[in-house]
Structure 1
Amino acid sequence: MSSPVLRRLPAVLVIDDELRSQEALRRTLEEDFEVFCASGAVEGMEILEMEQSTAGIRVILCDQRMPGTTGVQFLKEVRQRWPDIVRIILSGYTDAEDIISGVNEAGIWQYLLKPWQPEQLLLTLQRAAEVWRLQQENQRLSLDLRTAEPVLRRRVDSKQDKARKVFGLAALVRGPGSPLDPVCDLVGRIAPYDLSVMVTGESGTGKEMIARAIHYESNRADKPFITENCGAVPDTLLESELFGYKRGAFTGAVDDRIGLFQQADGGTLFLDEIGETSPAFQVKLLRALQEGEFRPLGSNKSVSVDVRVIAATNRDLEEDVRTGRFREDLYYRLATIPVHVPPLRHRPMDLPLLAVRILEQSCAALGKRVTGFSAEVLAVFAAYAWPGNVRELQNEILRMVALADGETLGMDVLSPRLRQGPAVDACQATQSWTDGLSGNLRERMEQLELRVLQAAMQRHHGNKSRAARELGLSRVGLRAKLARYGLADEGQGDQ
């Protein structure tokens, strides 16, 4: 057996039959990755077979047009043999239809167009390597939870507390008067009960974070939390992913595979984009939910599991039920408790806190030190409508951190999309801040002042000196106002 290779950099395999393009890709990536290059599918497969027996390739960047095969066809075979490798396709506009039709079967994580930009390419590969790392970490954590020795079980309570802080309600960032407040209240109330939950909302609003919060606030927090994106996998593959299969069940099934339902036994299974599944698959899923058991493909024995199912969709499933696209019985089985996540444009008071949290995460992921945003950038953030919601905000800040030279993110690294993008309706943004105010003008102004003080203290993690500077107050003046509203004990004193 080969000894593991200790690598300083993550390994990426570049496959391109044009040597000049191959060399350009190598030069762009070689400072951040250990780059292996191949001119075609056969050579690429040889490198994979050799490297996967040691430390392993983490990311494949593959050209669509290659002699003898296409990138999509090659990546389909890679997915079958090494499903953990993150797969990226690189091609021109003319191949878009062929690639899109094969995205699900090949499990392509990203599709990049030629001519590529070095910054965009490098950032995409960095994110892909991070996805690989998180996948491995999730698998290790799931395995640890299932196979831990009794002596380690004594640490479960402390681990649960830590997990609850990272993934529970405390992880749902929001400002005073946020539309997320009633959502968090509902999550806290339903989490302890084994009821099916349907999380709805636009793409990128954080539906998976809501599902995680439900899991980690429940009695199942020490058990696995398993996710599956139903919209990214074709029906035939989705069935084997969820229910597993026995060796010989179909061509390529060389070993038994435990499905996600069985992996999540005792814990929670999160089915994202449930509205994209076909009626035929919905029948099989409904049966598994009703009976609490299923048969792996190729098996004549049923497997019983104890799983809480949380589903999510950005579709109007009630309308899909009316039109017959989604089964009514499955909808009511999944939507015992509906939870709707509001879009980011309806949460202006959350934006500054979210931006700071995402900035910290982005700096940690990229190993860079950036301390904050310029006033101009924050103004653009506040005026932008964020059609991609929190996911778009995450991508924007990650991109800005990657391109930043200084410790403050300024307009020079802001994407043109934001400078020219749709602005939030000013009346709508103001409405969110003034919702719930009551009484005469003076009383309403006091309530609004309280919200501003709370938001400033949260933004600066309780540091009174910084909050006072932002609000144009002295430390004494700020302390007096905090005391007036019963907030005197919040924060970190005179820091």
Structure 2
Amino acid sequence: MTQSKPTILIVDDEVRSLEALERNLADEFDVQIAENTAEAEQILADHWVQIILCDQRMPDKSGVEFLTEVREKWPDVIRIIISGYTDASDIITGLNEAGIYHYVTKPWHPEKLILTLRNAVSMFDLQRQNELLAIELRLSERAAQKKVTDGRQKLRRQYSFDDGIVRGRTSPMNAVCNTLSQVAPYDLSVLITGESGTGKELAARAIHYNSLRWNKSFAVQKCGSVPAEVLESELFGHRKGAVAGAVQDAAGLFERAFGGTVLLDEVCDLPPAFQVKLLRVLQDAEYRPVGSNQTRKLDVRVLVSSYKDLETEVREGRFRKDLYFRLAGVTVHLPSLRERREDIPLLANYLLKQAVSDFDKTVEGFSSEALSCMKRYCWPGNVREMQNEIERMLVMGEEDGILGADLLSPKVLMATSPETDDDLSILGAATGTLKERIEAIEVKILRESLIRHRWNKSKASRELGLSRVGLRGKLERYHLEKEDEGEEVTPMTAAK
């Protein structure tokens, strides 16, 4: 496929001049000729012309006058004047009014003229590319803006209180979600408390995406074990050279999240030196970057979370009372997973769906026995520990298979109830004879071995050093049997 020649329109009332130009330029350009401006306008209307080479002195109107009109109707065309008269006023008028690209004097040299026209073609192509790029950038900006808006809408749906937080009908999380939904629309400071892994950041995100600030940024700042000077720089920003290694100005989290929400995670571990500065910033609603003399307006909603009891921290002098009252506008406590036994199957299936997507594996679901073991375990690490456990089960399990209880960790298998935080807590029980305590441990060992061997009594008896008759006797004595034998698989559902 041959590339088409660029089109050039020559306008001149002298026929010989037209013929000479056409003869010299025809090899490299698609030459269109016009003896007057009327013919030239018709050619411009019928053809895609890149360059006009127009004589300055013509009977109907001057070249500058004609090219001024062309500039209004066909602004993309590169305009060149050719003339035997080098009148300075004509050149100035041509530059200012007609926007000419070049002024060619007669007599012209063929090679120089062709070089000028080549450069004019390059200029035309660059103009077109710049226009297309500008259009593309506008379209890209719209597409990027739509993508961001759609993403935020998706996040808003994901963190809705009705469908975004997994829980059962009688879960203690229902009361929590009700409180969160009530405070979310208002710019109140909220203190979210609970054990590690209970979902405090999830609750903070739910507040943000159900507030009037949902279409702005949500940012998290970890406060645990962070020096005061580092926290100040991270939140307030700094000027070049104000802190070690600062080779340029840097915006802080408060500036980057302007108009949005900031979660101060583990606020109970804030250094005492920084507590005073944070209190001042929250009271005055303004801050000063490190190394700067200018203050900036604070426009973020500040949420805080704590795994410690802040009232106790205040009483013992580790946390400022005035800062506590500033932060704890509303206090919301998240229950631990052992307080949400009803939610465990729902959460397990929800986390399994996420893990299946992340690891690109397919499974049918959990066995009922596996879910029963999960419900008995205390989950000291809460949802985060359950997530790790399920991901390990998925990796260790077979493709398209069932995640059975044999894939669970020994600590989960040997759990007797959610109330026992220690696998051997029965030993320290206040009641029960020595025989009863030993039998309780024996039950746990028997159950763990049988589940791990998928209730294959031969393998379990060999591992435990028992005969099959002896193992059968112990199972009958302790009333141990496989749970839910008639309902082997619990599909991956995520009721909310």
TM-score of the superposed pair, with normalisation by structure 2: 0.54
Q: Confirm whether residue 270 of structure 1 aligns to residue 263 of structure 2.
A: yes
Q: Percent identity?
A: 50
**Paired AA for residue 250 in structure 2:** R
Aligned residue runs from structure 1 range 101-120, under 5 A: none
Aligned to 2:403: 409
CA distance in 2, matches of 1:234, 1:470: 54
Q: Aligned partner of 1:400: which letter? A: M
Query: In structure 2, what is the Cα distance between the partners aligned to 1:177 and 1:470?
Result: 24
Q: Could you say which residue in structure 2 is the equivalent of 1:108?
A: none
User: Which stretch shows the higher mean deviation, 309-318 or 238-247?
Assistant: 238-247
| Corresponding position of 1:387 | 380
- 2:419 and 2:144 map into 1 onto residues whose CA distance is 53
> AA paired with 1:219?
L
Q: Give yes or no for the alignment of 1:333 onto 2:333.
A: no
Unaligned ranges ≥5, structure 1: 1-147, 427-468, 472-490
Query: Corresponding residue for 1:163?
Result: 155
Matches of 2:148 and 2:243, distance apart in 1: 40
State the distance in 1 between where 2:171 and 2:334 align: 12
2:344 counterpart of 1:351: yes
Give the Å deviation of 1:404.
1.6
Distance change (3 Å), C-alpha of 1:161 and 1:281: same
Asked if 1:420 corresponds to 2:414, the answer is: yes
String of CA shifts for 1:169-206, please: whole Å, max 9, x gaps.
Answer: 22110001110111111111111000000000111100
| Structure 2 residue corresponding to 1:188, chosen from 181, 185, 195 | 181
Contact 1:227/1:269, CA 8 A, preserved across alignment: yes
CA distance in 2, matches of 1:150, 1:197: 35
Please report the RMSD computed on the Cα atoms of aligned residues, expressed in angstroms: 2.4
2:368–2:487 contact (8 Å) kept in structure 1: no
Of 264, 284, 294, which residue of structure 2 is paired with 1:301?
A: 294
Output the amino acid matched with 1:247.
K
Is 1:250 the counterpart of 2:238 in the alignment?
no
Is the contact between residue 168 and residue 212 of structure 1 (CA under 8 Å) also seen in structure 2? no
Counterparts in 2 of 1:478-489, with a 5 A limit?
A: none
Closer, same or farther in 2 for the Cα pair 1:352/1:253, shift >3 Å?
A: same
SS of equivalent residue, structure 2 residue 250:
coil
CA contact under 8 A between 1:156 and 1:222: conserved in structure 2? Answer: no
Unpaired runs of 5+ in structure 2? 1-139, 421-485, 489-494
SS of structure 1 residue aligned to 2:191: strand
Whose Rg is larger? 2
Aligned to 2:369: 376
Question: Separation in 1 of the partners of 2:416 and 2:321?
Answer: 37
Q: CA–CA distance in 2 between the matches of 1:343 and 1:331?
A: 23
Structure 1 segment 437-452 matched on structure 2, within 5 A: none
**Matched residues in 2 for 1:233 and 1:168: separation?**
32
Secondary structure of 1:161's counterpart equals helix
Q: Is the 8 A contact 2:197 2:383 kept in 1?
A: yes
- SS at 2:341's partner residue? coil
Alpha-carbon contact 2:373-2:405 (below 8 Å) kept = no
**Cα distance between partner residues in 1 of 2:224 and 2:293:** 28
Distance 1:307 1:254 in 2: 27
Aligned pairs for 1:165-314 within 5 A: 165-169=157-161, 170-314=163-307
**1:236 CA displacement:** 2.2
Q: Distance in 2 between matches of 1:329 and 1:385?
A: 36
Offset from partner CA, 1:403-432 (integer Å, 9 cap, x none): 222421123321122123462149xxxxxx
Q: Is the contact made by 1:187 and 1:214 (CA closer than 8 Å) also made in structure 2?
A: yes
Q: What one-letter code is carried by the residue in structure 1 that aligns with 2:408?
A: L
Counterparts of 2:229 and 2:288, CA distance in 1: 15
Equivalenced residue count is 284
Q: 1:262 to 1:354 in 2, by over 3 A?
A: same
Q: Is the 8 A contact 2:376 2:415 kept in 1?
A: no
